[in-house]
Amino acid sequence: MLAYCGLACGQCLIYLATSEQDESRQKALKISIAEECRIHYRLNLQPEDITDCDGCRSGSGRLFSGCLNCEIRKCAILRKTESCAFCPDYICDRLKKHFLLDPEAQTRLETIRKSS
């Protein structure tokens, strides 16, 4: 499962924590995620701030706040596109910034574009 931006949900620690059935393991993941958010994104999050997330394209309504407030996600929904790979404005400034943090996302979207 890929997010609109090419992020691989199956590799996202928040997504993995959501699917973790062992409560102690889930708590440890959330502690780790909060630390990663502080280091990489300069977000001051506590483990209890890490909410469940089923992926930004799921219909469950369970989204991490970063996904819920994501400008890329909002844009894709507004444009009614399945993926940024199909957007006529690909690669926009938002994606350029995102690709600096996750270069593999660009590779995934490029693969989608080539295969369609």
pLDDT digits (tens, 9 = 90+) for 25-56: 999 999 999 998 888 878 899 999 999 999 99
- Burial grade of 88 (CB within 10 A; 0-12, 13-18, 19 or more): exposed
Retrieve residue 37's tokens.
């958010």
DSSP secondary structure code for residue 42 in this structure: -
Q: What is the pTM of this model?
A: 0.85
Identify the band that residue 65 occupies on the pLDDT scale cut at 50, 70 and 90: confident
Mean pLDDT of 12-18: 92
Q: Which pairs from 54-59 meet CB under 8 Å and 24+ separation?
A: 54/15, 54/18, 55/1, 55/3, 55/9, 55/15, 56/3, 56/4, 56/9, 57/1, 57/2, 57/3, 57/4, 58/1
pLDDT tens for residues 80-111? 999 999 999 999 999 999 999 899 999 999 99
